[in-house]
């Protein structure tokens, strides 16, 4: 009844001279987008695995009261299930429930029929004979059909139903997966061990990458082979393999790491703390660059941890696959820090700090990872985050000089203008003196929410999150076991701290249920990701201030 009245007020009215009552009453255009032809085909979105069908074919039978959704009849279900869905694609030219023309119906050529009629009219007698002959034939055929039906009527009821049931459609793999096997054959898999790397089709590339790693370790004099001392602990090592995409090409990289987790702090090593740059420091540098229109460059140190000198004696087993045949019973006495050791970050930071002091750079008392130098009325800043460096200065000459000194001591990689740091994408518009920070795309891609439907608010009232929504039975806990709730909370929390402070309240509400999240909590978290999708262009923007000095001197 409600739907009938709704359609009536949206239909042209004779007393109103063909106008629509709702348009006359509200003085606005009526929205007919939701109206669909009754009985047409509809494809409702389904939630399934990656290889499952994306939709199920149904028949449109109406609208649901109280909810913005369509009522759909799924004929493929054994109980003829009626579902309610909002995400529907309609095919209003197809009506599955209309009666079809029987297969035994004769097909006539209209043009040929008229030609035959004209020929028959020329000879009436011959036409009468032909019509009588056709009538006799049709009567004989009908009698034969009746006899066949009488004979078949003696069969059982089950046979009768099976004989008249429609042909079942064969289940086939969707056409979008027809070349899926090609992707399986061409995708390169990252091995987890040395033996597994030799069994892959790219074994020659992995061997080349391992040889390059061993060569760089030998050139850096990372260790020396010595006989294993008695009562001396030894740390093992392993190979880590990674495929990196650079300029649409795959780069096979192998790295030798020590299993430093077997060492205990206070027994095998004393100091392991290493400072990292603060977010506030990075924001201050970005604000200065945007305001004063400074030059802004980025560099990376190759194998940074290998430059640190060790204070303790650490013995490591020889790398698997590269054991010296003449000294196979010897061990590696590490002279330089190696990836995987707990003290490696600290030793690298000490080495770099000594180098910067030799260049007469000063360390900030606020942040130990911020170095600056005042030379010829010009400032140059260097921000260090492990092995990534940001260099800012009003003078390009000072930056080039610093880069030259860095390349003399360390193996560096010049990344040019700053584009990404700490997971944040940096977009600079020098013409308008602005710098924009954003990092939402990586979060959406990580949790497959890139194509999600955006929303306008981070959280809505209908969720009503509480402890009672947490799983209580084993089946509910097993269902939530594989859902990356904690990972998603960590990602949005990192996003909140870096570039999106406006989601603080929502993240604080969702993080209360990290120990035992339920389905409503996960739906609320996905709602937050959908909000981030809708506000993907939001972030932190630095621009030139109207107030302030035109230069930054030593006092400032």
CATH number of the domain bearing residue 59? 2.30.30
pTM value > 0.85: no
Q: What is the pLDDT of residue 498?
A: 85
Two tokens, residue 18: 């063909």
Query: For residues 21 and 13, is the Cβ–Cβ distance under 8 A?
Result: yes
Q: What is the pLDDT of residue 14?
A: 77
Give me the sheet containing 70-73, strands edge to edge: 82-85, 70-73, 55-63, 41-45, 88-91
Q: Is residue 183 part of a domain?
A: no
- Give the Cα separation of 373 and 392 in Å (integer): 11
Domain boundary among 394, 422, 450: 422
- Give the Cα separation of 499 and 227 in Å (integer): 53
- 272, 379: one domain: yes
Token look-up 């020098």 returns 430
Task: Return the closest-CA partner of residue 332 out of 236, 441, 255, 425.
Answer: 236
Query: For residues 445 and 488, is the Cβ–Cβ distance under 8 A?
Result: no
Two tokens, residue 230: 């008695």
- 406, 451: one domain: no
- Give the Cα separation of 490 and 171 in Å (integer): 41
C-alpha distance from residue 476 to each of 454, 483, 517 (Å): 28, 12, 10
- 328, 464: one domain: no
Q: Is residue 67 part of a domain?
A: yes
Sign of CA dihedral 460, 465, 471, 472: negative
231-288 confidence digits (pLDDT tens): 778 888 899 998 877 666 788 888 888 888 777 765 666 777 888 899 889 989 999 9
- Give the Cα separation of 95 and 62 in Å (integer): 14
- 310, 342: one domain: yes
DSSP 336: B
- 353, 442: one domain: no
- 377, 513: one domain: no
Q: Which of 297-326 are b and which e, b meaning 16 or more Cβ less than 10 Å from the residue's Cβ?
A: bbbebebbbbbbebeeebbbbbbeeeeeee
- 9, 85: one domain: yes
Q: Is residue 210 part of a domain?
A: yes
Sign of CA dihedral 461, 464, 465, 469: negative
Q: Which of 76-88 are b and which e, b meaning 16 or more Cβ less than 10 Å from the residue's Cβ?
A: eeeeeeebebeeb
Q: Is residue 175 part of a domain?
A: no
Q: Is residue 275 part of a domain?
A: yes
Q: Could you give the 3-state DSSP secondary structure of residue 502?
A: helix
- 372, 455: one domain: no
- At residue 528, what are phi and psi to the nearest 5 degrees? -65, -40
Domain boundary among 371, 390, 422: 422
Which residues are paired to 434 by β-bridges?
Answer: 429, 543
- 418, 504: one domain: no
Count of the separate structural domains present in the chain: 3
Token look-up 């820090």 returns 337
**Residues contacting residue 549 through CB under 8 Å, at least 6 positions apart:** 556
Helix-, strand-, coil-residue percentages of the chain, each rounded to 5: 40, 20, 40
- Give the Cα separation of 319 and 207 in Å (integer): 13
Q: Is residue 122 part of a domain?
A: no
C-alpha neighbours within 13 Å on the C-beta side of residue 221: 3
- 373, 504: one domain: no
Q: What is the pLDDT of residue 404?
A: 93
Cα-only R_g, the chain: 37
C-alpha distance from residue 227 to each of 144, 317, 326, 328, 397 (Å): 102, 11, 12, 10, 51
- 454, 417: one domain: no
Q: Which of 338-374 are b and which e, b meaning 16 or more Cβ less than 10 Å from the residue's Cβ?
A: bbbbbbbbbbbbbbbbeebeeeebeeeeebbbbbbbe
Task: Return the closest-CA partner of residue 255 out of 270, 238, 271.
Answer: 238
- Give the Cα separation of 285 and 297 in Å (integer): 12
DSSP-assigned letters across all residues of 175-238: GGGTTHHHHHHHPPPPPSSHHHHHHSTTHHHHHHHHHHHHHHHHHTT-EEEEEPPTT--EE-EE
- Describe the crossing of helices 124-152 and 110-122 by its angle, rounded to 10 degrees: 130
Determine the straight-line distance between the first and last CA of the chain, rounded to whole angstroms. Answer: 75
Token look-up 């492990």 returns 386
Token look-up 């402070």 returns 501
- 404, 509: one domain: no
Q: Is residue 13 part of a domain?
A: yes
SS3 letters across 265-314: ECCCECCCCCCCCCHHHHHHHHHHHHHHCCEEEEEEECCHHHHCECCCCC
C-alpha distance from residue 535 to each of 490, 522, 529 (Å): 19, 20, 10
Domain boundary among 382, 397, 422: 422
Query: What's the domain range around 314?
Result: 194-422
CA angle (231, 237, 239) in 5-degree steps: 170
Q: Is residue 151 part of a domain?
A: no
Q: What is the pLDDT along the chain (556 residues), one digit of tens a residue?
A: 455 666 677 678 877 777 888 788 887 777 777 778 888 999 998 887 777 888 888 999 888 877 778 889 887 776 667 888 888 999 988 888 876 545 554 444 544 444 544 454 455 445 444 444 444 554 554 444 444 444 444 444 444 444 444 556 666 666 555 554 444 444 567 888 888 888 888 888 999 999 988 888 888 888 889 888 887 788 888 999 988 776 667 888 888 888 887 777 656 667 778 888 998 899 899 999 999 889 999 998 888 888 888 878 888 888 888 888 888 888 888 888 888 888 888 888 999 999 999 999 999 989 999 999 988 778 899 999 988 899 999 989 999 999 999 999 888 888 889 888 888 888 888 888 889 888 778 888 888 888 888 898 988 888 888 888 888 888 888 888 888 899 999 999 988 988 888 899 999 999 998 888 988 899 999 999 999 988 888 888 888 876 655 555 444 5
Burial of 426 from C-beta contacts in 10 A (0-12 / 13-18 / 19+): buried
């Amino acid at each position: 009844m409600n739907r009938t009245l709704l359609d009536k007020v949206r239909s042209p009215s004779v007393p109103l001279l063909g106008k629509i009552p709702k348009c006359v009453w509200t003085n606005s255009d009526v929205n007919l987008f939701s109206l669909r032809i009754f009985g047409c085909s509809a494809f409702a979105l389904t939630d399934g695995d990656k290889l499952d069908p994306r939709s199920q074919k149904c028949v449109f039978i109406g609208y649901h009261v109280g909810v913005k959704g369509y009522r759909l009849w799924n004929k493929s279900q054994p109980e003829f299930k009626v579902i309610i869905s909002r995400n529907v694609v309609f095919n209003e030219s197809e009506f599955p429930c209309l009666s079809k023309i029987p297969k035994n119906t004769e097909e006539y050529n209209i043009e040929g029929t008229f030609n035959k009629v004209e020929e028959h009219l020329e000879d009436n007698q011959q036409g009468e004979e032909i019509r009588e002959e056709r009538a006799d034939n049709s009567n004989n055929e009908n009698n034969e059909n009746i006899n066949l039906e009488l004979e078949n009527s003696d069969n059982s009821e089950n046979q009768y139903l099976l004989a008249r049931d429609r042909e079942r459609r064969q289940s086939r793999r969707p056409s979008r997966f027809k070349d899926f096997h090609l992707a399986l054959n061409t995708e390169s898999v990252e091995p987890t061990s040395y033996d597994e790397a030799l069994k892959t089709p790219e074994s020659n590339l992995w061997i080349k990458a391992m040889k390059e790693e061993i060569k760089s370790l030998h050139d850096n004099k990372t260790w020396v082979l010595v006989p294993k001392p008695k009562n001396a602990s030894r740390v093992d090592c392993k190979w880590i393999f990674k495929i990196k995409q650079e300029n649409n090409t795959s780069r096979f990289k192998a790295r030798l790491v020590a299993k430093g987790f077997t060492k205990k702090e206070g027994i095998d090593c004393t100091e392991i703390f290493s400072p990292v740059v603060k977010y506030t420091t990075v924001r201050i540098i970005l604000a200065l660059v945007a305001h004063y229109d400074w030059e802004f460059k980025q560099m990376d140190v190759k194998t940074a941890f290998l430059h640190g000198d060790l204070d303790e004696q650490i013995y490591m087993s020889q790398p698997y696959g590269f054991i010296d045949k003449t000294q196979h019973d010897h061990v590696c006495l590490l002279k330089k820090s190696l990836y995987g050791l707990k003290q490696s970050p600290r030793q690298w930071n000490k080495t770099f700090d000594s180098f910067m002091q030799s260049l007469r750079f000063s360390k900030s008392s606020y942040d130990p990872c911020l170095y600056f130098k005042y030379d010829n009325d010009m400032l140059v800043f260097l921000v260090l985050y492990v092995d990534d460096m940001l260099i800012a200065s009003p003078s390009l000459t000072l930056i080039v000089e610093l880069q030259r000194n860095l390349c003399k001591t360390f193996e560096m990689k010049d990344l040019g203008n700053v584009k990404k740091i700490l997971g944040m994408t940096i977009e600079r518009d020098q013409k308008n003196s602005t710098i924009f920070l954003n990092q939402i795309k990586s979060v959406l891609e990580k949790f497959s929410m890139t194509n999600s439907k955006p929303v306008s608010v981070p959280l809505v009232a209908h969720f009503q999150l509480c402890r009672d929504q947490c799983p209580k039975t084993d089946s509910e806990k097993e269902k939530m076991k594989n859902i990356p709730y904690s990972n998603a909370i960590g990602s949005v929390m990192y996003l909140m701290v870096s570039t999106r402070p406006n989601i603080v309240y929502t993240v604080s509400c969702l993080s209360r249920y990290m120990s035992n999240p339920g389905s409503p909590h996960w739906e609320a978290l996905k709602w937050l990701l959908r909000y981030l999708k809708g506000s993907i262009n939001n972030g932190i923007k630095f621009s030139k201030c109207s107030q302030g000095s035109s230069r930054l001197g030593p006092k400032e």
